[in-house]
Amino acid sequence: MQLISVQFIILLPIMALIYFLIPAKIRYIWLFLMSWGFYLSLDLRGFPVLLFTSVSTYVGGRLIEKLEGGKKKAVLSVVVIANLVILALSKYTGLTFLAAAGMSFFMFMAIGYLVDVYRGDLYAEKNFLLLSLFISFFPQVTSGPIERAGHMLRQFKNPQKFSYDRMRDGLLQMIWGYFMKMVIADRCAILVSAIDADPVKYAGTATLIASILYTFQIYCDFSGYSNIAIGCARILGFDLMKNFDAPYMASSIQEFWRRWHISLSSWFRDYVYIPLGGNRKGTARKYINILIVFILSGLWHGATYTFAIWGLLHGLYQVAGHMLKPVKERLCTVFKVETGSFSHRLLKIVTTFILVDIAWIFFRVKDFSSAIYMVLHILKPAPWFISKGTIYELGLDRPNVLLLLISICILIGVDIANRLDIKISERITRQGIWLRWLIYIVAVTVIVTCGIWGPGYDAAGFIYQNF
């Protein structure tokens, strides 16, 4: 059962109704049963891995709190390494019996909890069900956000009363998530998959179009999931951390990573970059730490070296940005460039988008030679691809291509609004009841009629669920 499945849409209000009807002090038990039941329905084969992570994290946390010195550190090392070994064996050896949906997400949450207990930032949780609920909370278990124990355990222990405003806001965020996933991402996927199946045949213009569409596909797929998960949790009275903040409006790679997959980038900052020394041990060490973090981020996504190259590229982008900053500032002074002007900001946004787009090629292509071929041929002219209508022979006819372009324009408009701190959802909720409900009905109708449904549709197609 997926978050975008009909079964989930039907069951969610039933689960929420039961949750708010039962006594507050035992609601976490119902959440725990819902979460483990959700995961069992999604990935029965991977359930033992989730169970092992839950048990080892609980036992490890209790021992870390009781022990001192070397023994305390030894327990932390053993539990963390055991989980990382399972993660590595699954990703790097293809052992299917160790594979589990979303294992990178719930293992990182478990590791973060153990490190927090070891540092003394958090007391070890004595209630196994509560800790297991934190690790397996059903909206986020397969694709995040990667939450922190201190933030979530407190909410589980102090459940909120039913709130109409929370329910409304949660539903609005879920609707936007469904639009991003089913109307945009899944349409992009059809064209991108067709071109990637034979990149030599569709070189040049087609490669460029596929690269741009994949940039929107992965954003709408992953951010769409995050919006659905955050909205679903909000209906139940829980606040999950924001995971995306108009990332393609970023004017630098460093800013991009403050806006993209925020829960992962902040996790690596707090549990890898800062412990390595961060920027406290000199410039050279800072650059090395940045490269280490981004290579590890690439490897977190998958076992192939193309993921490592993707991470390395983002690391090199950031190092180059730091090194060239004095040069850029000098050039702006010499040529009297207004750094606050719209044209200058737009140039930086476009440049950042191009750099991110090039890196995504290595992320989506499974072998190095194909990635290099695409990079080298991406600007090779092939106007016939559009003029002769070849683009309409790859799974989407003319109306669907037009719908995709309109939907991407809507997405860009919403992200621009977010960048300008204009909250679309708040504007909608302040409208009169008739206009407000008209917007709700139109939005749902668009998703139902224009979303990718029907025979052959893969409801398990969230890209990040495989990580």
Percent of the chain scored above 70 by pLDDT? 94
What residues contact residue 159 under an 8 Å CB cut-off, 6+ apart? 24, 27, 28, 237
pLDDT digits (tens, 9 = 90+) for 4-29: 888 899 999 999 999 999 999 999 99
pLDDT of residue 197: 84
Cα end-to-end span (Å), the chain: 18
Residue 177 to residue 173: CA distance in whole angstroms: 6
pLDDT of residue 403: 93
**Region 139-161: what's the mean pLDDT?**
94
Q: DSSP letter string over 298-340?
A: HHHH-SSHHHHHHHHHHHHHHHHHHHHHHHHHHHHHHTT--TT
pLDDT of residue 382: 67
Residue 254 to residue 402: CA distance in whole angstroms: 33
**Region 225-246: what's the mean pLDDT?**
96
pLDDT band at 295 (very low <50, low <70, confident <90, very high): very high
- Give which of 139, 198, 205 is closest to 4, Cα–Cα: 139
Token readout for 127 is 């209630």
pLDDT of residue 144: 85
Given a cut of 90, whether residue 288 has pLDDT beyond it is: yes
Given a cut of 90, whether residue 98 has pLDDT beyond it is: no
- Does 89 or 123 have the greater pLDDT score? 123
Percent of the chain scored above 90 by pLDDT? 64
pLDDT of residue 265: 95
Residue 89 to residue 98: CA distance in whole angstroms: 7
- What is the pTM assigned to this prediction? 0.93
- Give which of 19, 88, 66, 60 is closest to 300, Cα–Cα: 88
pLDDT digits (tens, 9 = 90+) for 395-426: 888 899 999 999 999 999 999 999 898 989 88
- Listed range (50-64, 93-107, 112-126, 277-291) with the worst mean pLDDT: 93-107
Q: Where are the domains of the chain?
A: 6-159, 166-450
pLDDT of residue 4: 83
pLDDT of residue 453: 54
pLDDT digits (tens, 9 = 90+) for 442-467: 999 988 888 865 444 454 467 776 66
SS3 294: helix
Average of per-residue pLDDT values in the chain = 90
Residue 105 to residue 102: CA distance in whole angstroms: 5
SS3 45: coil
